[in-house]
Chains A and B, each alone.
Chain A
Amino acid sequence: MAADGDDEELDVNYLLIGHAADGYYVDFEPFGKVELPRIFLLKDEQGGWSLDAYGSTKSAVLNGHYAVHHEEDAATPPDDAAAADATGTADPAADHGEAAHSPEETVASGEHLHGSLVAPAGHEIVLDLSITRHYVFGLLAALLVLAVFIPLGQRYKRGIGRETAPQGVFQNMFETLVIFVRDEIAKPNMGDKYERFLPFLLTAFFFILFANLFGLVPYGAAATSNIMVTGVLAFFTFIIGQVYASADHWKHIFWPPGVPVLVKIILIPVEFLGLFTKHIALAIRLFANMTAGTLVILSLLALIFIVNSLFGNVAAMLASPFSVLLTLFISLVKLLVAFIQAYVFTMLSALFIGMAIEEHHDHEHAAPVEGPTPGLSEDHGAVTPHTLMGDDGAARERTQMPQAIAG
Chain B
Amino acid sequence: MELILAADLLSPHAGLIFWKALTFLLLLYLLYRFAWEPITTALNDREKTISDSIQRAEKALAEAKQIQADNQKARREAEQEAQRLLREAREQAEQLRADEVQQTREQIQQMRDQAQAEIEREKQGALDELRAEVADLAIQAAEKILEDSLDGARQRKLVADFIDDLPKN
Contacts and interface: CB of A to CB of B under 8 A. Distances in A.
Interface of A: 1, 10, 13, 17-18, 20-22, 39, 71-72, 74, 127-132, 134-135, 138-139, 142, 145-146, 149-150, 152-154, 156-157, 161-163, 175, 178-179, 182, 195, 198-200, 202-203, 206-207, 223, 226-229, 231-233, 235-236, 291
Contacts of A182: 40, 43
Contacts of B26: 142
Given A139-B23, A154-B38, A232-B24, A127 B1 contact: no
Contact of B20 (A10, A130, A135): A135
Contacts of A200: 28
A22 B13 contact: yes
A142 B23 contact: yes
B32 A199 contact: yes
A229 B22 CA distance: 11
Given A13-B1, A163-B49, A202-B31, A152 B16 contact: no
B35 A150 contact: yes
B42 A142 contact: no
Contact of A128 (B14, B27, B30): B14
Contact of B27 (A13, A127, A142): A142
B30 A146 contact: yes
A156 B20 contact: no
Contacts of B41: 156
B38 A17 contact: no
Contact of B42 (A10, A157, A207): A157
B8 interface: yes
A128 B17 CA distance: 10
B28 A199 contact: yes
A149 B35 contact: yes
A17 B8 contact: yes
Contacts of A134: 16
Contacts, number: 139
B45 interface: yes
Contacts of B1: 1, 10, 13
Given A134-B16, A135-B20, A157 B27 contact: no
Interface residues of B, number: 38
Interface in B3-41: 4-5, 7-10, 12-21, 23-24, 26-28, 30-32, 34-41
Contacts of A130: 15
Nearest to B6: A17
B73 interface: no
A232 B20 contact: yes
Nearest to B18: A129
B36 A128 contact: no
Rank and list the top 9 A-B pairs by shortest CB-CB distance, nearest first: A156-B42, A149-B35, A153-B35, A162-B42, A129-B15, A21-B8, A153-B38, A199-B36, A199-B32
B169 to A, nearest CB: 119
A142 B26 CA distance: 9
B45 to A, nearest CB: 5
Interface in B24-73: 24, 26-28, 30-32, 34-43, 45-46, 49
Contacts of A138: 20, 23
Contacts of A17: 5, 8-9
Contacts of A1: 1
A132 B31 contact: no
Given A1-B1, A156-B39, A39 B16 contact: no
Contacts of B46: 161-163
Contacts of A18: 8
Contacts of A203: 24, 27-28, 31-32, 36
Given A74-B4, A142-B27, A236-B24, A127 B15 contact: yes
A206 B7 CA distance: 29
7 contacts: A132-B15, A138-B20, A142-B23, A150-B35, A157-B38, A162-B45, A233-B24
Given A152-B35, A153-B37, A229 B28 contact: no
A94 to B, nearest CB: 14
Contacts of B7: 74
